[in-house]
Amino acid sequence: MGPKVMIYLTKGKYRAREAKTPSDLRAAQLLRARCFSLNTSLDADAFDAQSTHILIEDTASSVLVCCYRLLILDGGSLKNCYAAQYYELSALESYDGLMLELGRFCVSPEHRDPDILRLAWAAMTDYVDREGVRLLFGCSSFAGVKTEDYLDAFAMLRARHLAPKRWLPRVKAPDVFRFAARLRRKPDAKKAMLRMPPLLRTYLLMGGWVSDHAVVDHQMNTLHVFTGLEIGAIPDSRKRLLRAMV
């Protein structure tokens, strides 16, 4: 086999590349700690060493504006992923094909250019295509732990975006909000989409699905749902848009 092909893409004034050095990883950990408002200078855990880290930088200044990590998995290694700490994922162990966990996705609060998100997804698409991934998943987070702030969003998830029963994650975390069982309200679509996190909105627009409950994560001060996206289910029009940048 030849050397691994590294990701390097550009869009507007930004570039996407894989982290190559300890200082690259440290820059991502610093940005994560700032974006997640943690009481520590670095956001680091054991999953960092196992993952491929993607950095989105301002090309002119080399300032890091976005980052995320990717971890390739199969049914046998699924129990070792980040999400498995919070969700019982045995249903997915029989999934036929490679899976990819997307984690620690964050964008610098000072940089809200939509090209950043577009480039982030283009780099991810390149990785998915290159590795032959069939299922992308991760934890999509709502800021804060007050469920009442997001009732329309959760009602929308219940009505339109629950995981297929054959893949549905079961409860594992000690503190969860079982929105699929508890909510019976009709969602206000406008309010729901306004309160939906940008990353989750993107998953849903491509045909993604979520767990039937949200984990209340007091350490990260978030509510998060397990989110899956089967690559084969992405509409062809959206695949063309993503791959046009690769």
The structure's pTM equals: 0.93
Predicted local distance difference test score (pLDDT) of residue 242:
73
Question: Averaged over 37-53, what is the pLDDT?
Answer: 93
Report whether pLDDT(238) > 60.
yes
Task: List, for residues 83-103, the tens digit of each pLDDT value.
Answer: 999 999 999 999 999 999 999
- Contacts of the segment 190-193: beta carbons below 8 A, 24+ positions apart: 191/152, 191/153, 192/152, 192/153, 192/155, 192/156, 193/153, 193/156
Q: Is 61 inside any structural domain? A: no
pLDDT confidence tier of residue 139, bands split at 50, 70 and 90: very high
Length of the chain, please?
A: 246
In a domain, 63, yes or no: no
Domain of residue 212: give its range: 69-243
Is residue 208 situated within a structural domain?
Answer: yes
Contacts of 78 (CB under 8 A, 6+ apart): 84, 89, 92, 93, 99
DSSP letter (8 states) at residue 172:
-
Side chain identity, residue 39: N
Do the domain assignments include residue 51? no
Domain presence at residue 45: no
* pLDDT value of residue 32: 97
Residue 130 has which token pair? 């290159």
Mean pLDDT of 168-178: 98
Is the distance from CB of 70 to CB of 100 less than 8 angstroms?
yes
Report the distance separating Cα 129 and Cα 125, nearest Å.
6
Is 47 inside a domain boundary? no
* Domain count of the fold of the chain: 1
pLDDT of residue 106: 95
**35, burial (CB in 10 Å: exposed 0-12, middle 13-18, buried 19+):** middle
Please indicate, yes or no, if residue 29 is contained in any of the structural domains.
no
The mean pLDDT of the chain is 93
Q: For the chain, what is the radius of gyration of the CA atoms?
A: 17
Whether residue 5 lies inside any domain: the answer is: no
**Would you place residue 193 in the very low, low, confident or very high pLDDT band (cuts 50, 70, 90)?**
very high
> What residues pair up with 87 in beta bridges, in sequence order?
171
pLDDT tens across 18-38, in order? 999 999 999 999 999 999 988
pLDDT given at position 23? 98
What's 73's domain CATH number? 3.40.630
Strands 87-88 and 170-171: antiparallel
